[in-house]
Structure 1
């Protein structure tokens, strides 16, 4: 908002401009005071005392608390004890690395995976291990009152079957492409025994069963 400018001449017009400016300033001050009073009422404690400033402080979440609870994301060290990890977060399990407290199959398989720790209740939390090489396998357990429990294996047979077929088809596709590129001979039967599962491949030749 712009105030009116006074001229060098002291006349009625300048006096009116000065009076208008003061009226504008007083009106702004009045509006500002009304705003301050309304904010006091808005932030004041309820008369019934149901919500006090102390209770609000108790429920406040500081950046330090958020960092402590939710910012855990790191690579686990070799031979690190998984049973002692209770902070919510994601932890990477490296391949060919042994850990303490994980299922035996995890160390034997030496696969890379993700350990996910999440809250289950006030005193319980869950741990899940996801196999990154085979997403049909998940190990999980619920830790109650810091008492370690046994791992449970969740196995999705259908998902494993699909993944296995995809991996087999990829290998067959590679074999066929390499053979066709570097050889003029007929593709051996052992290389095309599962070729019907591979899409976009056309093998042309003579069917010996139909020849004379």
Structure 2
């Protein structure tokens, strides 16, 4: 329930997004559908999985988060609560572990389900699209062979083409196609794009919002006399 999470957990300091590409980057498309919170539809999809075996047999899975990150803990607990409410045979168990353990397990591909975020290294959509969706991406590559095979067959070529193109219109079309495919295939759950507040005295100058800058670069600031 992304809307409730943003309102009640983040105190409104977040925005729902269609995919893991944040608003403001080339290729972001507000006409793409946002993740839908619909337990009845979720039940219908679970009943189709593996020819009905998932619904009849159920499953047990651990959802990991790094301890100390309250937002990720709440995400894990909410997802577990709602999925478990669909069928008593469904057992999603939130599990908090220390960051070194969490990171090592994730990098080695040991986590069946995990929650994570990304802060841009450079102001280009490739930094998010490739990270989450290309078979070789930092996070995508840790999600198992079936996903890697899907990505290689469906989106890798478009992601690579968009990365080297110097035509913005072409890049937008390619990123639109990639995002449509990952939405249709339900490649993860894009949770939210964080927003924030910047509070400073009226005599402080030199601060401007920046898509990849978190915090201050103090040498840019000045003081009115």
| Shorter-chain TM-score range | under 0.3
Length-normalised TM-score, structure 1: 0.22
Scaled by the length of structure 2, the TM-score of the pair is 0.21
Structure number with the higher strand fraction is 1
